[in-house]
Structure 1
């Protein structure tokens, strides 16, 4: 179970009593998730989600994340929203950790990605990007191209344990990305971690977006690059052109992409693949014995990167 910090009954009752949410009836840990401890909380009024922020989350970033969720919700984007207590505070402390209580979203994330999921995601992502354009707080993407080489160097000496020659390939790829990364594309607030388990569906439509804890200011089209990797490859690691075409075309119905953004897709997709390959590689090599969560296979993203390296133009992603 992905609960790193346990909460006692009395601690949680005291915490819940700060809010106008009724009486605490029950709670249980949520097994899914990697970064934080999450609990399903049932009160006499409604269900809620309690999140305790663990050591990998910088507390200084929490006002950006929580404020972003409130901002997007006010703009009509369906996302989990932090509740404020009777004193107007969204951020609390519980069991020695920063904590917040959130509204509960109906729906389920898709275990098997169908083309219509990608189409709906494209629309929802574009609307989220437009809604975030006037969000006043900013946060740098510390897992963009400038942060990849330090991450690589922290595990380069053991990378070949995962795949022979992996260290050399990553070194060459990072040099290519550093020399070719764009610098003049439209910017805005990106989710930057919009994987299927962070998008809920109900009645074949997106019912909510969760887990904004990698959100940052970056090229908006970078979010699309992340999702080409996360949503458009099959279990045999082949690329599904139909899914990509639907995602991109439905995004463009809500927010137009410039020619420069379209042309940048291949390199951004390579960069997004490297970002998740590196973080998975680090976690794989530094996995503590007895840890709650099994690390994800970094070689999945090695396969995705290999595909993107062969892409000759944006049309390979189904872009007209």
Structure 2
């Protein structure tokens, strides 16, 4: 369960007294997510999500996250909306952490995405990229290629305690990606963490997106590569080209990819796999004492990275010739 900071009922009730959402009826920690402490609130006005931003989140980035959700919603993207207190503020402090309350999004995530789910995701992702074009605030992606070596160095010699030879493999991959990372591709606002548990469906119809706390400005095709990693591999580690084809075709119907984006897709997919391998590796090695959190297995992304290292072109991902 992703709860790093405990909140007492007394603290929470005092905090909610500054909002017009009624008295607290119940609250509980939410299992999904690994970055922040999340709680489901039940008040007299309904259901809400309370997020306490933990130390990895820079408080200076919070206006970007809050503003982006409002911006996207105004352009037809279904996502949670910040709830403001009586002073008109969306950000507060609770239990020594910056925090925010957001509306509760109806729907459920899928644990085993089907082809139709991947197509819906591709269409919505393209819509998000187009809707984000007018957002005025910018945020650099701290977890893009320039941020990977510091993560690798933070893991250090302990890397091989997770898998023999992993340190040498990552070092080799880092060198390749740092030397060849693409530039000049279409860029804009990306979600950067659009895993299945951050996408809700109602009766197989996509109902909304959540968890924008990795959102930033970066290459749009890199966001696609993150989704291919997260949605198109089977539990046995095999890449499902049918799912990839559905995701890419639905995306391209809304925002056609440029030839340079198509050419760069295998390298971007390698980078996306390495990014999550590294962050999972660091989390795996550094679970805070007493934290109610189950870190994700970094070796899942090692298996995906090995697939990408063998890919020859975008055709290996299901894209049309």
Partner of 1:215: 215
What does the per-residue CA deviation read over 1:107-126, in whole Å, with 9 as the maximum and x for residues that have no partner?
A: 01101111111011001111
SS of 2:40 mapped into structure 1: strand
Q: CA deviation at 1:5?
A: 1.8
Cα separation, partners in 2 of 1:211 and 1:44, compared to 1, 3 Å: same
The residue matched to 2:26 in structure 1 has which SS?
Answer: strand
Partners in 2 of 1:31 and 1:143 — Cα distance? 23
For residues 247 and 45 of structure 2, the distance between their equivalents in structure 1, rounded to whole angstroms, comes to 38
Q: In the alignment, what sits opposite 1:299?
A: 299
Question: Which residue of the partner structure matches residue 191 of structure 2?
Answer: 191
- Decide whether aligned partners of structure 1 residues 83 and 289 sit closer, same or farther in structure 2, where only a CA change above 3 A counts: closer
- Corresponding residue for 1:43? 43
Deviations 1:84-140 (A, max 9, x none): 112110001112111111000000110111111101100111111111011000010
What's the TM-score, normalizing by structure 2? 0.97
1:240 aligned partner: 240
Give the match for residue 75 of structure 2. 75
1-structure distance, mates of 2:210, 2:173: 31
Q: 2:239 & 2:229 partners in 1: Cα distance?
A: 9
Give the match's secondary structure for 1:154: helix
What residue is the counterpart of 1:114 in the other structure? 114
Q: Deviations over 1:193-239 (max 9, x none)?
A: 11111111112111111111111100011110001111100000000
Tell me, in whole angstroms, the C-alpha distance in 1 between the residues paired with 2:41 and 2:73. Answer: 21
The answer for the alignment partner of 1:145 in structure 2 is 145
Q: 7-16 or 300-309: which moved more?
A: 7-16
Q: CA deviation at 1:25?
A: 2.0
Secondary structure of 1:132's partner? helix
Structure 1 runs not aligned, ≥5 long: none
- Deviations 1:132-187 (Å, cap 9, x if unpaired)? 01100001011111111121122231222222221111111111111111110001
What displacement does 1:50 show? 0.9
Shift of 1:290: 4.3
Give the SS at the match of 1:129.
helix
Q: Distance in 2 between matches of 1:23 and 1:290?
A: 30
| 1:90 corresponds to | 90
CA distance in 1, matches of 2:285, 2:134: 40
Q: How does 1:200-279 map to 2 (within 5 A)?
A: 200-279=200-279
Mean Cα deviation higher: 11-20 or 147-156: 11-20
How many angstroms apart in 2 are the aligned matches of 1:112 and 1:56? 29
2:13 corresponds to 1:13: yes
TM-score, normalised with respect to structure 1:
0.97
Query: Is the Cα–Cα contact under 8 Å of residues 52 and 99 in structure 2 kept in the other structure?
Result: yes
Unaligned runs of 5+ in 2: none
Q: Deviations over 1:245-296 (max 9, x none)?
A: 0000001111111111111100000000000111111122223454321222
Once residues 43 and 301 of structure 1 are traced to their aligned partners in structure 2, the CA distance between those partners, rounded to angstroms, is 39
Aligned residues between the structures = 320
Q: State the shift of 1:10 in Å.
A: 2.6
Contact preservation (8 Å) 2:191, 2:223: yes
